[in-house]
Amino acid sequence: MDQEAARTARESLDLAFHMSNVLDAGIDRHTLSVLIALCDMGVNPEALAAVVKELRREPPSSDTIVSSNKS
């Protein structure tokens, strides 16, 4: 990726992250970057939003809790 394309991508992510914060979406910059990349690869944004909502509803698994305690 050339410097101009990298700068444009960074500015776009900054703008999307700012909008996410204004809307109080609770999405961190890395997660937002992954979601944008998935959309760029053709994943349906509405289906992706449904998955994110579903994952937020699920309680963390015991594996996640154990992994977090190891850090």
Six token digits for residue 38: 């998935």
How far apart CA 49 and CA 11 sit, in angstroms, is 22
How far apart CA 54 and CA 48 sit, in angstroms, is 10
Q: What is the CA radius of gyration of the chain?
A: 15
pLDDT single digits (tens) 26-66: 999 999 999 999 999 999 999 999 999 998 887 777 665 55
Higher local confidence (pLDDT), 57 or 68: 57
* Closest residue by Cα to residue 35 from 58, 53, 11, 23: 53
How far apart CA 12 and CA 33 sit, in angstroms, is 10
The residue extents of the domains of the chain are: 3-58
Q: Which pLDDT value is given to residue 21? A: 95
Six token digits for residue 41: 């690869």
pTM above 0.75?
Answer: no
pLDDT band for 69, please (50, 70, 90 cuts).
low
